[in-house]
């Protein structure tokens, strides 16, 4: 099934498949290729409209009868760490951050396997081999970095995040970390550190992916102050996560053709001259 805008790019829809976040739900994604000279502008524009990047694809949930998956980002200026988050920062302050080019290493893959086997053994990435892992890290047509977190005493790789640099922030594409340090809150720490990365770079937002109310896997994102969600075509501050009611009925989403027509594209004409 394909729907085309008057100008490129072209948008497609995936076939329905079981939702990984909510039971008895089917998911469907709207997606487009990310390629060519206009890739950076397209990624910036669509990221600000709730899309996410996976290698050379930009996608956004477009389920037929559910609108629970909401793109989330942290307003860096509005963020204030909680007491628990301050403890997490203190617990991990010894870690050394290294920013590298998007190049996969054997150490990264070994940590990735340990993380998946411990936390997501039955997930969709559980069977990913080293070549697929390398593709996830390295296939990027935009400005991306691999942020590594290293224990300076042992030299051990403790955490990794594949991070895109956008015009208005940093986007955490995928992160993983040692499962042997559960008290350290490494997943939260990597987010907290990305807030500092964005602040130091003068970028206003940290894009976290999707927040799914009702999904235990995604609940941690609502614990960050300054969180905004993309709802009804605009970003709104998430004021009370506990009372938020997601849309889950057959009229939750507009038809695909209307969704595509309402996507704002950057001016790509200069790249075709």
Q: Please give the average per-residue pLDDT across 143-161, as a whole number.
A: 97
> How many percent of the chain have pLDDT more than 90?
67
pLDDT of residue 208: 96
3 — phi, psi (to 5°)? -130, 135
Strand partners, 73: 207, 228
Are residues 138 and 49 both part of a single domain?
no
**Do the Cβ atoms of 168 and 203 come closer than 8 Å?**
yes
Q: Give 161 or 271, the one with higher predicted confidence.
A: 161
Average pLDDT for the chain? 90
Are residues 77 and 66 both part of a single domain?
no
pLDDT of residue 22: 86
pLDDT, tens only, 7-52: 578 999 999 999 888 888 889 999 999 988 899 999 999 999 999 9
Decide the pairing of beta strands 169-177 and 205-211. parallel
Are residues 25 and 90 both part of a single domain?
no
Under the banding of pLDDT at 50, 70 and 90, the label for residue 269 is low
String of b and e for 217-250 (b: at least 16 CB within 10 Å)? ebeebbebebbbbbbeeebeebeeeeebebeeee
Are residues 29 and 98 both part of a single domain?
no
Are residues 61 and 190 both part of a single domain?
no
pLDDT of residue 7: 52
Residue 118: CATH number of its domain? 3.40.630.30
pLDDT of residue 6: 44
pLDDT of residue 272: 54
What is the domain range of residue 10?
2-70+246-272
Are residues 64 and 80 both part of a single domain?
no
25 — phi, psi (to 5°)? -125, 150
Are residues 165 and 138 both part of a single domain?
yes
pLDDT of 122 > 60? The answer is yes
Are residues 227 and 259 both part of a single domain?
no
> Considering the entire predicted model, what is its pTM?
0.91
What is the DSSP annotation of the chain? Answer: -EEE-SSS-EEEEPPPEE-SSSTT-EE-EEEEE--STTHHHHHHHHHTTT-EEETTEEEEE--SS----EEEEEEGGG----HHHHHHHHHTTTPEEEEE-S---HHHHHHHHHHHHHH-TTSTTTT--HHHHHHHHH--SS-EEEEEEE-TTT--EEEEEEEEEETTEEEEEEEEE-TT-GGG-HHHHHHHHHHHHHHHHT--EEEEEEE-TT-TTTGGGGGSTTEEEEETTEEEE---GGG-----STTSS--HHHHHHTPPPP--GGGG-
Q: Give 214 or 266, the one with higher predicted confidence.
A: 266
pLDDT of residue 5: 42
Are residues 33 and 166 both part of a single domain?
no
Are residues 205 and 141 both part of a single domain?
yes
pLDDT of residue 255: 82
The length of the chain is 273
Q: Please give the average per-residue pLDDT across 52-60, as a whole number.
A: 96
Q: Give 9 or 163, the one with higher predicted confidence.
A: 163
Question: How many independent structural domains does the chain possess?
Answer: 2
pLDDT of residue 252: 63
pLDDT, tens only, 184-243: 999 999 999 999 999 999 999 999 999 988 877 778 899 999 999 999 889 999 988 877
pLDDT of residue 120: 63
Are residues 64 and 169 both part of a single domain?
no
pLDDT of 250 > 80? The answer is no
Closest CA to 149 of 193, 218, 95: 95
pLDDT of residue 25: 85
């Amino acid at each position: 099934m394909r729907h085309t805008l008057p100008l490129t790019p072209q948008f497609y829809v995936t076939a329905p498949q079981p939702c990984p976040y909510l039971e008895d739900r089917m998911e469907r994604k709207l997606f487009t290729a990310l390629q060519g000279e206009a890739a950076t502008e397209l990624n910036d524009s669509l990221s600000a409209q709730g899309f996410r990047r996976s290698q050379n694809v930009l996608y956004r949930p477009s389920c037929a009868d559910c609108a629970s998956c909401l793109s989330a980002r942290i307003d860096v200026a509005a963020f204030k760490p909680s007491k628990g988050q301050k403890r997490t920062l203190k617990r991990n302050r010894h870690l050394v951050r290294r920013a590298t080019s998007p190049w996969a290493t054997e150490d990264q893959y070994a940590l990735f396997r340990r993380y998946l086997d411990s936390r997501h053994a039955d997930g969709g990435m559980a069977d990913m081999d080293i070549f697929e892992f390398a593709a996830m890290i390295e296939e990027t047509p935009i400005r991306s970095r691999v942020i590594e977190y290293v224990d300076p005493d042992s030299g051990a790789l403790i955490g990794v995040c594949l991070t895109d640099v956008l015009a208005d922030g940093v986007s955490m594409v995928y992160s993983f970390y040692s499962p042997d340090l559960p008290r350290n809150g490494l997943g939260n720490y990597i987010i907290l550190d990305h807030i500092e990365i964005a602040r130091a770079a003068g970028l206003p937002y940290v894009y976290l992916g999707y927040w799914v109310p009702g999904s235990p896997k995604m609940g941690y994102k609502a614990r960050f102050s300054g969180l905004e969600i993309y709802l009804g075509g605009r970003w709104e501050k998430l004021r009370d996560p506990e009372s938020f009611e997601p849309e889950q009925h057959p009229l939750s989403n507009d038809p695909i053709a209307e969704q595509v027509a309402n996507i704002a594209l950057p001016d790509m004409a200069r790249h075709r001259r």
